[in-house]
């Protein structure tokens, strides 16, 4: 079974600064997706960024980028020019991409990192 | 486009009582998911529907939890009887198909006293 580990329960960053959230995962598969989700106090999970394992190029979405190290099974999220609205719980998640059915396609989440943005 | 709707947003019940949650997915989304998120943890999948059929319910405590998706649209998740450890946020998500991005609803926060 796949596992996702987020070793930083809490992080803080000054507004306009850069912060990196860490995530490691364990899998025996070669074809999969990795995601970062944001969950503000409203509780609604919002997709921030996704990475396909077969792509060597790191994904970017505006101020959000990832550092995907497949051999090391590491998937960190970098937030540049942090804004007050970035404050939230961030979850790293894994999903198999192979020709499977049922539970192999489910999202497996880490335990989350609570990000505080200081004005 | 309207998002995933869930109700109620909050529910407080006594242990051994019953409770039901409702989810209306995004129009046209064939796949629907129910997750349980205990405080301080990431969401855990309880059950996954493809149209009105169950694809995966391996982590659903079937002695007390049940779910249905009549007509392949709305879904209800029921707990009967509730235990203290069922206190959590219950998230519903939907996707066009199993391989597509999941869109989440705002969740229902359940407190069992």
CA distance to partner chain A, nearest, from residue B82 (Å): 22
Of A58, A46, A51, the C-alpha closest to A97 is A51
pLDDT in tens, B7-66: 999 999 999 999 999 999 999 999 999 999 999 899 999 999 998 899 889 999 999 999
Tell me which residue range forms the domain holding B13: 5-112
pLDDT in tens, A5-52: 999 999 999 999 999 999 999 998 888 999 999 999 888 899 999 999
- Find the CATH number of the domain harbouring A48: 2.60.40.10
- Find the CATH number of the domain harbouring B89: 2.60.40.10
Selected residue with higher pLDDT from A110 and A105: A110
% helix, strand, coil for chain B, step of 5 = 5, 50, 45
Tell me which residue range forms the domain holding A75: 3-98+105-114
Confidence of residue B72 (pLDDT cuts 50, 70, 90): confident
Chain A residues touching B55 at Cβ < 8 A:
101-102
Number of domains in chain A: 1
Selected residue with higher pLDDT from A75 and A42: A75
The two tokens of residue B5 are 């709707």
What 3-state DSSP class applies to A84? helix
The reply to whether A119 falls in a domain is no
Mutate to test the interface with B, among A4, A7, A45 (most CBs of B within 10 A): A45
Q: According to the model, what pLDDT value does residue A104 have?
A: 54
Number of domains in chain B: 1
Kindly identify which residue of chain A lies nearest to residue B35, measuring between CA atoms: A107
The reply to whether A16 falls in a domain is yes
Among B42, B55, B91, beta carbon nearest to A112? B42
The reply to whether A13 falls in a domain is yes
A101/B106 CB distance under 8 A:
no
Q: According to the model, what pLDDT value does residue A99 have?
A: 63
What 3-state DSSP class applies to A23? coil
């Amino acid at each position: 079974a796949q596992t996702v580990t987020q070793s930083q329960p809490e992080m803080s960053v000054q507004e306009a600064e850069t912060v990196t959230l860490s995530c490691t995962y364990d899998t025996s598969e070669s074809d999969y997706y990795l995601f970062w989700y944001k969950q503000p106090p409203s509780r609604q999970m919002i997709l921030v960024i996704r990475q396909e394992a077969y792509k060597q190029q790191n994904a970017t979405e505006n101020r959000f980028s990832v550092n995907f190290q497949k051999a090391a099974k590491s998937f960190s999220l970098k937030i540049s020019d942090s804004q007050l609205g970035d404050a939230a719980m961030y979850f790293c998640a894994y999903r198999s991409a192979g020709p499977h059915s049922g539970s192999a396609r489910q999202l497996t989440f880490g335990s989350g990192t609570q990000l505080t943005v200081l004005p | 486009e309207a998002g995933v709707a869930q109700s109620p947003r909050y529910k407080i019940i006594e242990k051994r009582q019953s409770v039901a949650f409702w989810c209306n997915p995004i129009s046209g989304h064939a796949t629907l998911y129910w997750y349980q998120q205990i405080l301080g943890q990431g969401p855990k999948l309880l059950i996954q529907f493809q149209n009105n059929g169950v694809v995966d319910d391996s982590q659903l405590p079937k002695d007390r939890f049940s779910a249905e998706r009549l007509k392949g649209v709305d879904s209800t998740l029921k707990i009967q009887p509730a235990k203290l450890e069922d206190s959590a946020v219950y998230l519903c998500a939907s996707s066009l198909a199993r391989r597509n991005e999941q869109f989440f609803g705002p969740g229902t926060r359940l407190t069992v006293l």
